[in-house]
Amino acid sequence: MADTLITVLAGGVGAARMLSGILQVTDPATVTAIVNVGDDLELHGLRISPDLDTITYTLAGEINPETGWGLRDESWQAMATVERYGGVSWFGLGDRDLGTHLYRTQRLAEGATLTEVTAEITDAWHLGLRLLPVTDDRLRTMVTLAGDGDDAGLEVSFQEYFVQRQHGVPVASVRFDGAEASAPGPEVIEALIDADTVVIAPSNPIVSIDPVLAVPGIRQALISRRADTVAISPIVAGAALKGPADRLLSELGHEATVLGVARLYAPLAATLVIDEADAALAGQVEALGIRPVVAESVMRTPEIAAALARTVLSSAGA
């Protein structure tokens, strides 16, 4: 499949694993990832792009295996100084990792676009594939908290929900600040239209894939490619593999099962890969208008990720 172009809609950890599987079975030069930037934040004056970095570090083989984010062989001297001053320390920034944010911030200040800086960073790690931020404009996932706590009704940034509160609070609603005024990055629509196969990675549908779809033009382009689009369910046996996807789906009125995922993705993807644990639901998925493909989808090892990638790519347009 050397000449087959593959474009992947991507969040962070789940997408990084899916991409590492895809890169094992195809030429990296044929792969494009369109990456969520709704999780991005400005902190300490720095521009931080967690999903772009998680993918970059994972594919470089440098992700911190203990945390699942940041770089391996990390030290924390800068944060220790920040803590001495009583500064903002809930968002952990390792010393090695900080270099990425310093570079990105400096280049943006010099007038480079996020697309350009991302290409420079991925080149430096010799990744081979193309990572495209979904937009060079400001897009921020905002979360309104629910529940009985003091902050019920408060709208916070995604990272204030996800990291500062460790996604341990119920959510009333999610919106994508800046989405309406944003434009897709310069190569994004072309990457969707030109792809032979489009993949929706097993990322959080609400806070990783939805902000990508909120950028004007993306959803329409994706709908036009529905026949060649394969989604992988991030929900397995009614639970998220990582993070709050299951709770968010429930809290926002969706079913936290592959059926809820099937309803969300049926307009966008002809095929939905569901885990063997959900094989019994295949018929119900099919009835929702999206073709189920059952596979081992929990990417515990590189071999499983590669096998899943083969399944995904051979399912497209089938």
Q: Does 56 bind its own copies (CB under 8 A)?
A: no
The encoded tokens of residue 259 equal 């059926």
Looking at the Cβ atoms of 104 and 247, the one nearer to its own copies is: 104
Exactly one of 29, 67, 90, 109 binds its own copies (CB under 8 A); that residue is 109
Q: Does 318 bind its own copies (CB under 8 A)?
A: no
Residue that has been written with the tokens 């239209």 in this structure: 193
Looking at the Cβ atoms of 45 and 253, the one nearer to its own copies is: 45
List strand residue ranges (DSSP E) for 117-200, in order.
130-133, 140-145, 155-157, 171-177, 197-200
Q: How far, rounded to the nearest angstrom, does the alpha carbon of residue 215 sit from its chain's CA centroid?
A: 15
Exactly one of 29, 67, 92, 124 binds its own copies (CB under 8 A); that residue is 124
CA-to-CA distance for 189 and 195, rounded, in angstroms? 10
Q: Does 163 bind its own copies (CB under 8 A)?
A: no
Contacts of 126 (CB under 8 A, 6+ apart): 60
Residue 224 to residues 14, 179, 180, 227, 268: CA-CA distances in angstroms?
25, 21, 20, 8, 8
Q: Taking the complex as a whole, how short is the minimal distance between the CB of residue 222 and its own copies, in angstroms?
A: 32
Contact 4, 29 (CB under 8 A): no
Looking at the DSSP assignment, which residues form a beta bridge with residue 144?
Answer: 155, 173
Q: Does 193 bind its own copies (CB under 8 A)?
A: no
β-pairing, 229-232 vs 155-157, is: unpaired
The SS3 of residue 252 is coil
Question: Contact letters (x/-) for its own copies, 68-97, by CB under 8 A?
Answer: ---x--xx-xxxxxxxxxxxx----xxxxx
Q: Does 106 bind its own copies (CB under 8 A)?
A: yes
Q: Does 121 bind its own copies (CB under 8 A)?
A: yes
Q: Does 166 bind its own copies (CB under 8 A)?
A: no
The one-character DSSP state at 63 is B
Q: Does 116 bind its own copies (CB under 8 A)?
A: no
Q: Which amino acid is at 54?
A: T
Q: Does 127 bind its own copies (CB under 8 A)?
A: no
Please, which of residues 9-48 interact with its own copies by CB under 8 A?
42-47
Q: Does 224 bind its own copies (CB under 8 A)?
A: no
Alpha-carbon torsion angle 264, 265, 266, 269, nearest 10: 170
Q: How many residues bind its own copies (CB under 8 A)?
A: 40
Looking at the Cβ atoms of 107 and 225, the one nearer to its own copies is: 107
Exactly one of 16, 55, 98, 270 binds its own copies (CB under 8 A); that residue is 98
Residues that bind its own copies (CB under 8 A): 42-47, 71, 74-75, 77-88, 93-103, 105-107, 109, 120-121, 124-125
